[in-house]
Structure 1
Amino acid sequence: MLKLSNRFWFVLHGWLSLPVWLLFCFVCLTGTIAVFSHELTWLTNAAARANNPDNLPAMSASLLVEKVQQAHPTADVGTVMVFEPYLVNAVVFTDHDKPQAIAYVNQYSGEIQSVEQGITFIGFMRALHGWLMFPWHGSYSIGYYLVSGMAVLMLGSLVTGLVVYKHFWRAFTQPKVRTGQGQRTLLADLHRLAGVWSIWFLLVMSLTGLWYLIQAIFWHADIDIEPHPPLVSAAQLPQPQTEIPIPPVSFQQALDKVQQLYPDFSPSYLHLPEHNRDMYILSGGGDHVFYDQYAYQASINPWTGEIASSRSPEQMTMLQTLTYIADPLHYGTIGGIWTKAIWFVFGLVLTGMSITGFMMWGRRTFKHATKVKQAVDIGEQGETA
């Protein structure tokens, strides 16, 4: 009877690990595409383009909300999302015949170019890369754990690769790619060369990925990194009436309040009150390069106009700072289109490294399995003789 050696189980374990490497490659590839998700949206969806042939100034988000409410009188607007200047603003609303819809409103002309229902390409790529489209069960998603857990694999690959590749720094000054010594040698040279030149990128992706993993654990454990925006005090609400009262503070007045608080405020995610005790929660970017477009936030009481809470980089704790600098570093948005192009190129390199690494592992595993089989066959032939 054939006895299975420890080596056989090691090889089998390697083959069973194949899905992990496929997942890693998929995460790298989708992340690379996600870097240019806004640009790809502009390229593939004409309704998302903010054409401005007359060089008009951008309208206030409150005017865009009015445009949507004029076109859909029974609509209940909940959110306004502001993207790059070349993309339209997205006004999210509900209506009697639309559980949730997004109006693409040109911020220069005020024209509603399209009303979409369903996920956008930007949202799709974010969900595909971030949590593999797995559903969220309350405060956690298995897909989010799977993706962020890849950071441990990436960091381990980086450390072990540098240990195995002696004098790796020579690849900076003496790059070596041998094309005439077979496929195995070529793959190994390309893999090592790409790895050395991508050390900084691997480190950035690993560290930001580890933070996403820690963040997921916090969410799952109901540990708040920052306090939730406050609710309007019941004492500040008007007396009960037969009709639903309209808050005296308009959306535009709330925007003006935030602009006075943060002169460099650039709106990005603007939440309108959903009920009488809800507030205007206005988030945006500012003059800090390494912070994302949600780093500045203010909650405006719609009944009194007071600023109930605020947040800026100067007020953040260490964990909050990590939260708001992780995305710009992970997706390369810190320097606009140029840094996004660099992140895109190195994302392709990282995807290629995962493929070449798997190809080399597969060749070694297949070669060893063939030798084991040949040895077993020879042994069986000897026993028969």
Structure 2
Amino acid sequence: MTRKIRNQLFRLHTWLGLYLSVFFTFMFLTGTLLVAGFELESIGRPAIWTSAAEEERTASFGDIYEGIKTAHPEGDAFVILKRPASWFVDRTFGRTGWGERVSYWTDPTTGTVVYETGDPGFAGILAGLHDTFLTDNRIVFILFSATSILLLFQMVSGLITYRRFWKGFFRWPNSAGGLRSWAGGAHRLTALWAIPLVFVTAITSFFFLLGGLGIEGDKLKFQPPAPRETALPAGFDGAVIDQAEANARDALPGFDPAILTIPGGKAGSLKFIGQHQDFSGLRGQSTVAIDPLTLEVLNIYTPADFRGLSRLDHLMEVLHYGLWGGTFSMVLWIVLGLVATGLAFTGSLIYAARLAPAGSVGGLCMCIWSSMGFLRWIYLLLLLGILAVVYWRVNPDAYVQSRVNPVDAAIRTAHLVLYEPLRRDTPIEIELRIGAPDVSTALVAINGAAAQPVDLTRDGDKALGQFKFDPLETGNEVIAYLKKPDGAEQKVTFRMGSPIW
């Protein structure tokens, strides 16, 4: 390659690095923390850590479900994860009796609940920052993923302009020539060592970009189960789950399910997901769908059934998140992630040191800031927006409204809405929403007390009313008596269960 082309690539590399170094520093740092994000979040939670060996983790999906229902009979379980990590007990994503999202942690031997965690946590906030700056917007996700093209260009152009780069893997930066010399040496050294992570990150992020654009390949299609009136049929319990798992294993010999999804609607099926002995862990997981009513096997999918880009979904995810080699790959990705963070930061230092060779750290930062031109104000606005959203997400007063459905799932006349979480010794206001257009008056009986009238306001065909609720340690039952003008009355029972916190 001619010197002219190499110089042009270097100028473009430097220009892009100046404007994108702050962004890439942020992305590499948050991505590195995310590899062990939940471990960092759980340092103060000894109950969810375990040293149980693989052969000691004998709790079945049915045992876990029964353990949760015993501790929280009003709660729901949606996704059960056995062995989320070898050092964690089993985890189940679910919902409390008052509709708040929660994770139930269960003993891997007995299935009993040992701890509960709420949402969002540190890892969830960090993931939202890394993906979309907590906006959860698809356009932002696409823009973030599109920077993978620029990242790949920066890597390739850097290697082209760094002549005989293969000789620099152990060339320690020299500080004798001043900050600029040290920053240049550190940038080149970190770039070489970060090559595996940068390349994998760029490729996998580009794959995610295709998914964000709708280019995903064929998705699995599941046969609908037999019609039923409720999300879970009458008598659904741990024994039903264990029988369904046995049917799944019989239908697909060599199948070892580690994940169970439980339907939240009456058109869903039980899905067992896990590894199959005939396929490498990098190929993906197999899925067996079971009808929760008849326990009939509906569908069987293995990695061989995926078509198009969907064949690469699992591989891209485990590579991007550093899960391809268990503990070894997690540690390696953390080390290389910190190196890549230093790579992005030292790129900015080189530019600043060129303008102010003898400047202080503060002066160099101001140099970088002023050199960004109009883009620096965009960064400032993004920073302020991120801080505002983080505060909103972690603020104890922030709570996403939750819904409490009647104990009898067949009743759809009314439901409760909580704008505050159910907490011990904390009175809250609860809203009663009535969907029946012909209800004229309503009374509520709280925890066995005498029924009290609720003032209703009409909203079209619906009626709304609020009442004060003082939670107890157990029970927390609300009975609504809905009366029609002709004197007919309907009794609707709600049960929220014991506050967890």
Normalising by structure 2, we get a TM-score of: 0.61
Q: Give the match's secondary structure for 1:96.
A: coil
Partner deviation per Cα, 1:62-108 (whole Å, 9 max, x = no partner) = 11111111222222322212301321222233343233222111222
Partner deviation per Cα, 1:145-202 (whole Å, 9 max, x = no partner) = 2432231221010111012111212224x63532311111111111112212332322
Rounded to whole Å, the distance in 2 between the matches of 1:160 and 1:275 is 52
How far the C-alpha of 1:228 sits from its partner, in A, is 4.0
Corresponding position of 1:230: 223
Decide which of 289, 294, 307 is 2:297's aligned counterpart: 307
Rounded to whole Å, the distance in 1 between the matches of 2:105 and 2:122 is 13
**1:6-25 matches, cutoff 5 A:** 18=19, 20-25=20-25
Contact 1:290/1:328 (<8 A) preserved: no
Q: Does 1:145 align with 2:146?
A: no
Contact 1:271/1:281 (<8 A) preserved: yes
Q: Give the match's secondary structure for 1:231.
A: coil
Question: Where do 5+ consecutive residues of structure 2 fail to align?
Answer: 1-10, 358-365, 368-501
Rounded to whole Å, the distance in 2 between the matches of 1:303 and 1:132 is 42
**1:67-106 matches, cutoff 5 A:** 67-82=67-82, 83-106=84-107
Aligned-residue Cα RMSD (Å) equals: 3.3
How far the C-alpha of 1:121 sits from its partner, in A, is 4.0
More strand per residue: 2
Q: Does 1:364 align with 2:354?
A: yes
Q: Give the match's secondary structure for 1:93.
A: strand
Rounded to whole Å, the distance in 1 between the matches of 2:252 and 2:132 is 34
Contact 1:42/1:87 (<8 A) preserved: no
Contact 1:90/1:103 (<8 A) preserved: yes
How far the C-alpha of 1:133 sits from its partner, in A, is 1.9
> Which amino acid in the other structure matches residue 203 of structure 2?
L
Contact 2:244/2:290 (<8 A) preserved: yes
Rounded to whole Å, the distance in 2 between the matches of 1:227 and 1:259 is 19
Normalising by structure 1, we get a TM-score of: 0.78
Corresponding position of 2:209: 213
Rounded to whole Å, the distance in 2 between the matches of 1:230 and 1:131 is 34
Change (3 A) 1:56 1:360: same
> Which amino acid in the other structure matches residue 213 of structure 1?
L
Rounded to whole Å, the distance in 2 between the matches of 1:116 and 1:87 is 13
Q: Report how many residues are paired.
A: 343
How far the C-alpha of 1:264 sits from its partner, in A, is 4.6
Corresponding position of 2:282: 291
- Percent identity of paired positions between Structure 1 and Structure 2: 22
Once the two structures are overlaid, the 10-residue window that deviates more, 62-71 or 116-125, is: 116-125
Change (3 A) 1:310 1:141: farther
> Which amino acid in the other structure matches residue 166 of structure 2?
W
Change (3 A) 1:289 1:310: same
Change (3 A) 1:119 1:228: farther
Change (3 A) 1:98 1:304: closer
Contact 2:63/2:110 (<8 A) preserved: no
Contact 2:174/2:182 (<8 A) preserved: yes
**1:266-285 matches, cutoff 5 A:** 266-285=256-275
Change (3 A) 1:333 1:225: same
Corresponding position of 1:113: 114
Partner deviation per Cα, 1:260-306 (whole Å, 9 max, x = no partner) = 344554434321122332101222234555527x6221211223333
Once the two structures are overlaid, the 10-residue window that deviates more, 336-345 or 93-102, is: 93-102
> Which amino acid in the other structure matches residue 353 of structure 1?
L
Contact 1:49/1:86 (<8 A) preserved: yes
Q: Does 1:320 align with 2:310?
A: yes
